[in-house]
Amino acid sequence: MKTYILLYLLIIVNIIQAQEPKIDLSFRYENSKQKQKHYQLLKKCIDEVTENQTKYDVKYYSLDLDIISNSKFQKIIGTTKIIGKVTGESINYVELNFWNGMTINNIYIDDSPTTHLDYTWYNDIVKINLDSTYLNQTEFEINISYNGLPQNCPYGIFDFNTHLNEPMISTLNEPFGARGWFPCKDIPSDKADSVDIRVTVSNNLVVASNGLLRDTIINGTTTTYWWHEQYPISTYLISLAIHPYAQFSDWYVYGDNDSMEVQYYVFPDKLNDRKAKYSKTVEMIEFFSSIFGQYPFVEEKYGHAEFLWGGGMEHQTLTSLGGTSESLIAHELAHQWWGDAVTCNSFHDLWLNEGFASYSEALWFEYAYPSYSASDYQLYSEYFGSGKIYIYDVDNENLFHGGLRYDKASWVLHMLRHVVGDDMFFNILKQYYTTSKFQYKSATTNEFIDFCKEISQMNLDKFFQQWIFGEYYPDYSYSWYNTKVDNGYNVNLTINQDHDNTGLFWMPIDVKITTSSNHSYFVVMDSVKNQNFQFFVNEIPINLELDPDNWILKKIREIDSSIAEEKNADGYYLYQNYPNPFNPSTIIQYELPVDCYVELTIHNLIGEKISNLIYEHQKAGNYKYKWNGDNFASGVYFYKIMTKSIEYGEPDYLQIKKMLLIK
């Protein structure tokens, strides 16, 4: 009896371990679409630090806001206090970013509204004449009282909305929205050392924000929530989320006597659902802390506040969340390290935020699903379009381009991991995060590259040049043959780079040679248009694969007369599966020039259909399907694609290819 129970348990454990994760990366595109939509309304140069702004450093913001929101009327009435320190030559005026759709009531010093300061306001920059000249290293303090409705500010999102007939107010400043609702020096590299946020709302509402809740003060029909952020913070990471939230919490325990509360602010009707959907967050904090270094805001909190938005936004210590997928939760949490603690110096370097958070998803799935690797995850993030990861023109490029800043940038880290090796890669990440040069500060792309070179002692210039500052990907074709020599075989490999107009890629490539009884791995350094390599193996080689474990963002095909064929004239194409032969899984790739019904099936040697892989309507594009032959015997199989423009009509395209499963 016991044996049976044990067996039963083993089966359950196996099922859990074999569980395939559900990957949904649509939030990356949701994020990019929505942020860009707002941002594109701007047609003027805003990626600009004025000369005056280079001469001072912001130490502190205090935001005091009354938020009025009812069905007829919305408004904010606020006072922002700024303490700055002169870091350059002396100054007698201060320039702040502030959207001039708001109304300024008064600007003054020393908490004394009678000490009025003169100002001009042009191009959303307030130039404030100080009461005297401030010398290098001296501090100044300015108070600005104002009011208005930031809802229409084109720089970011201050959303007065409703949810289930209750107000749902949320902010999303990235990239330049902070200036829409408080005057500030609105660049990511100038972090305030600390921030106080006091928000007064009607009694039924809950205000969630950055840092720790210092106090809740009830004043008759209104309540003031006082949040304090004691860690350095960029203006784009300051946030408000306001609703009659339901709350629950969890604990991240990181020492015998140390723990941190993980707080969730959720829509009341979703309380039970969110308790289930958020249940892995603490384990994610533990995991990321173990590989990157301790959670950056451990003296405060982490948490989620729901908002009405498809994606998420990594507000410091409190992500604003519109979805619930495991990938999204991992992504926004990872931003606390990559984006919040180590911030992109400017939005030119945005990939340092988004690429790192996106690759952290892959690291989480690799850890959480033992049968699954980061390489598997990266198959969902392939980007083969044009454009560069580094943003040369912040005003005119699509900053949050999902393919470049998220997908391809995550590939750069995946590739870097293989080029420097696992130990060195994780060493680089940990040191990059923990070094005082970057932690709670910011980094530029070149600083990150120099740091990688310094830690690894490798020359990575070509690697980063082609992947970050250059375009596209290597397009490999290869062929091989063997010759019998004493004691074994020479395998002769030719690798070609076929992408003509994008330059040649410098990449180490893994070569896997399969013989009848084992595999041999080699690494070649490929960098020219046509390159020949030779390897020696003891037994007759049956198969050769390039980059079998998917460490390079690439297109690749084996040149073999039997499979060398062009796309048909209409643009449909069924690629040769890879790897091939395979065990147990292989990738079947195809291209659709138009939206159509697709049927993808597997057949055995005598033509019987043994598996239906796809039967659905798909949009035009390039698709990959991973087929797992675990439950099938070794042998030859055929995969067949059939497409139709109307579901029960005649096929527009039909193609069959052969593949070999070897166990």
Of 236 and 597, CB closest to Zn ion: 236
Sheet holding 91-97, edge to edge: 91-97, 125-134, 119-122
Of 126 and 357, CB closest to Zn ion: 357
What secondary structure letter does DSSP report for 493? E
CB of 406 vs Zn ion, minimal distance in Å:
7
Residue 144, Cβ neighbours under 10 Å: how many?
24
Of 351 and 575, CB closest to Zn ion: 351
Of 199 and 357, CB closest to Zn ion: 357
Residue 434, Cβ neighbours under 10 Å: how many?
17
172 binds Zn ion (CB under 5 A): no
Is the bond leading into 167 cis (omega within 30 degrees of zero)? no
Site for Zn ion in 11-50 (CB under 5 A): none
For residue 138 the two structure tokens come to 């001296």
What mask of x and - would describe binding to Zn ion in positions 275 to 314, judged by CB under 5 A? Answer: ----------------------------------------
For residue 301 the two structure tokens come to 């909190």
For residue 646 the two structure tokens come to 């109307």
Size of the site for Zn ion (CB under 5 A): 2
- Which residues does 231 contact at the CB level (< 8 Å), separation at least 6? 194, 211, 296, 297, 299, 300, 316, 317, 440
CB of 338 vs Zn ion, minimal distance in Å:
9
Of 187 and 334, CB closest to Zn ion: 334
Residue type, 41: L
Of 63 and 409, CB closest to Zn ion: 409
CB of 333 vs Zn ion, minimal distance in Å:
10
CB 151 within 8 A of CB 159: yes
CB of 409 vs Zn ion, minimal distance in Å:
10
Residue type, 277: K
CB of 504 vs Zn ion, minimal distance in Å:
32
CB of 29 vs Zn ion, minimal distance in Å:
12
CB 352 within 8 A of CB 344: yes
Of 274 and 405, CB closest to Zn ion: 405
3-state SS class at 572: coil
Determine the Cα–Cα distance for residues 493 and 533; give it in Å rounded to an integer.
5
3-state SS class at 441: strand
CB of 306 vs Zn ion, minimal distance in Å:
17
Of 226 and 278, CB closest to Zn ion: 278
Nearest to Zn ion by Cβ — which residue?
357
Of 327 and 514, CB closest to Zn ion: 327
CB 274 within 8 A of CB 234: no
Of 350 and 419, CB closest to Zn ion: 350
- The kind and range of the H/E element at 2 are helix 2-18
Site for Zn ion in 331-370 (CB under 5 A): 354, 357
Distance of CA 598 to the CA centre of its chain: 31
CB of 627 vs Zn ion, minimal distance in Å:
31
3-state SS class at 13: helix
Token pair 């990471």 is found at: 237
CB of 334 vs Zn ion, minimal distance in Å:
8
- The kind and range of the H/E element at 356 are helix 351-368
- The kind and range of the H/E element at 616 are strand 609-618
CB of 28 vs Zn ion, minimal distance in Å:
7
Binding footprint of Zn ion on the chain (CB under 5 A)? 354, 357
